[in-house]
Amino acid sequence: EVQLVESGGGLVQPGGSLRLSCAASGFTFNKYWMTWVRQTPGKGLELVANVQQDGGQKYHVDSVKGRFTISRDNAKNSLYLEMNSLRAEDAGVYYCARLNWYSTVWFNDFWGHGTLVTVSS
């Protein structure tokens, strides 16, 4: 059974940092791209970042470029999101999701339960 379990969320002051983690199990982690998606009151569901199977290729949405970094450790079956210079608009639930592919179409087929990030002074 595919399982994705996020951790690391919490309360942080504006300008602060957090590191989110996602522990994966039930599938061959190093064969899949992985994704962080967030759900915020202001923008709804928003893809934050993707990372290739070996960590070589990464994509970050413009609103987090230079502040957030996605990474992975295939030996630990883990995905990470390093978040710096946090802003109020970054607050929300952050989901880890597996990215799958079929006939040229990408889709997030399995999601974790999410971890809540609160940015407030």
Which is nearer to other proteins, 60 or 72 (by Cβ)? 60
CA 34 – CA 75 distance, rounded (Å): 15
Pairing status of strand 44-51 against strand 105-111: unpaired
N- to C-terminal Cα distance for the chain?
A: 40
Q: Does residue number 59 form part of the binding site for other proteins (CB under 8 A)?
A: yes
Shortest distance in whole angstroms from residue 105 CB to other proteins? 4
Instruction: Decide: 79 and 34 in contact? Cβ < 8 Å.
Output: yes
- Among 55, 69, 74, 111, interactor with other proteins by CB under 8 A: 111
Which is nearer to other proteins, 5 or 16 (by Cβ)? 5
Residues making contact with other proteins (CB under 8 A) = 37, 44-47, 59, 61-62, 95, 100, 102-114
